[in-house]
Copies of this chain bind each other. A is one copy, B any other.
Amino acid sequence: MSNQALFVLGGTGERGVCCPGLLTAPLDEGQAVELAKVFKALGDPVRLRLLSMIASRAGGEICVCDLTPAFDLSQPTISHHLKLLRQAGLIDCERRGTWVYYWLLPDMTDRLAGILTRPVGGPVPAPAEAPS
């Protein structure tokens, strides 16, 4: 299956090094639109559980037949959630015979982690003191 990942975030993919940094400078509108798609994909409990099951699987991949039984949801619903994770660039998959196998695309989670990491020496937000 084709990888529909959104390569939205630029940068080198190195861990902890990512641009644009959400915490370092104001995002422009285009960056925000693309990044919001990825966070929106994560903004659902079923998709988070699916992603955690895929990412933590020993061996690095998991059959959809091992994902579905964990949910009280139909196969098409699970497949829809998996499609949204795939379109966000968080996972990829491959059909082999009857089943589809999924794996994490760690570049994207690395980039999100980098985006959410505070810059060294950057602004240090702190609760403000009310003026007297």
Contact = CB atoms under 8 A, between A and B. Distances in A.
Interface of A: 15, 20, 22-27, 29, 32-33, 35-37, 39-49, 51-61, 70, 92, 94, 96, 101, 103-106, 109-110, 112-114, 116-118, 122-128, 130-131
Which of A40, A46, A48, A109 has its CB near the most chain B CB atoms (within 10 A)? A48
A117 B60 CA distance: 16
A26 B44 CA distance: 15
Contacts of A126: 60, 103
Chain multiplicity (copies): 2
Contact of A56 (B26, B39, B51, B57): B26
A35 B49 CA distance: 10
B118 A110 contact: yes
B109 A55 contact: no
A27 B48 contact: yes
Contact of A55 (B23, B55, B94, B110): B23
Contacts of A116: 109-110, 112-113, 116
Given A109-B118, A113-B116, A125-B55, A27 B49 contact: yes
Nearest to A38: B43
